[in-house]
Amino acid sequence: MQRQEFVQQLWLDYVHTHPDIGALRLWPLSAAAEYLTLVTLNYGPFSATALSSNLAHMGYRAMSHYAMADKGLLVHLLAPSDGSSWLVLAELQIGTLSKAPREAIEGLVRQSHPQDCKGHNLLCRGRPWPMPSWALYQQLQQAHPLAAWLAVRGPRLHHAGFDCGQLGEPLAVLDQRLKEVGMLSLQEQQNGVFTVSPLLDHRFYPTTPQKAVFADGDEHRLCLGGLALVQKHVEHSHERLADVLLPHHTRCEMA
C-alpha cells in the first residue's frame, strides 16, 4: 500500500466512526490534517517496533520519541517524505497495567484474525479481535482509559489535529464556529491520549458518542475520539507544528 492510499483508508475509517466530523464544512475539504494520532499497544504485531517496517515502506521516518510515564505511553513521532500529515503513534505500555487488565487485553489480542495482523490491514481495517464484554470494558476503563479504548476500537486513528495557521483562521474563530455546531472543547492541553506542549495553543473536541454493541449484546454510547485544533504561539517560527507538538521534557532517546 502506498502512503496516499493508507492515509485515505485511515481517514475514511475515521469519518465513518465520527460522522459529525465528516459533516463539518468549516474549512476546505482539501485541507490536510497536520498530524494523525494513532493509538496502539506494545504487544504482538501491533507494537511500534512491529509496525515500523510497514510505515517505513510507506515513506515515514522516525523523528523523535517521547516517554510519558504518568500515562503509560511511549509516543513515536513519524514524518512523511513529503509535506503531508505526520503520524503521532501513541503506544500503550501494557506492562504498566496491573495483572488482571494486562492479561485481559493480551487475551483479546491473541484472538485477532491473522489477516488483520499484517500488511496493509494494520491500523485501518478496524478492530482485529472480538468485541469485549461490557464488564471487561469497564474493568479496562478503570485500569487505563486507552486500554478500554483499544479493546473496543483496536489499534487505530484516535484523532486528527489541524494547524490553524494552515487553515487560515485563528484558533479563537474556529473554536467559536465549532461551538456553534455543538462541538465543545476539553481542557486546553488534553486530548484523551497525550499532553500537548505548552508552546502551543490547543483545543480538543470530543465527538458525539456513538452506539457500541458489546459481546453480550449490551448497547452503550461511547465517545471514541475527536478533533484537535492547534496554533503556534509564535507564528513565524519555521518548524512544522507537529515537530513541537509534544512537551520537550518528555523527549527520550531510543536504542
Gap between the Cα atoms of 226 and 53, Å rounded? 28
What are the cell numbers at 80? 512523511
Q: What is the pLDDT of residue 226?
A: 95
In this predicted structure, what is the pLDDT of residue 236? 58
Measured distance CA(233)–CA(14) in Å, rounded: 29
Cα 124 versus chain centre, distance: 12
Q: What is the pLDDT of residue 1?
A: 67
What pLDDT is attached to residue 149? 97
Measure the CA–CA gap between 224 and 204, rounded to whole angstroms.
13
Query: In whole angstroms, what is the distance from residue 239 CA to residue 201 CA?
Result: 15
For residue 206, list its beta bridge partners: 226
User: What residues have CB less than 8 Å from 130, skipping those under 6 apart?
Assistant: 108, 111, 215
- What pLDDT is stored for residue 255 in this prediction? 58
CA distance 155 to 3: 18
Q: Helix, strand, or coil here: 172?
A: helix
**pLDDT given at position 125:** 79
What pLDDT does 117 receive?
76
Write down the pLDDT at residue 40: 96
Cell of 77: 513521532
Q: How far apart are the first and last CA of the chain?
A: 28
The whole-model pTM stands at 0.95
pLDDT of residue 122: 77
The cell numbers describing 152, all together, are 473496543
Residues lower than pLDDT 50 in the chain: none
Q: For domain 3-252, which architecture applies?
A: Roll (3.10)
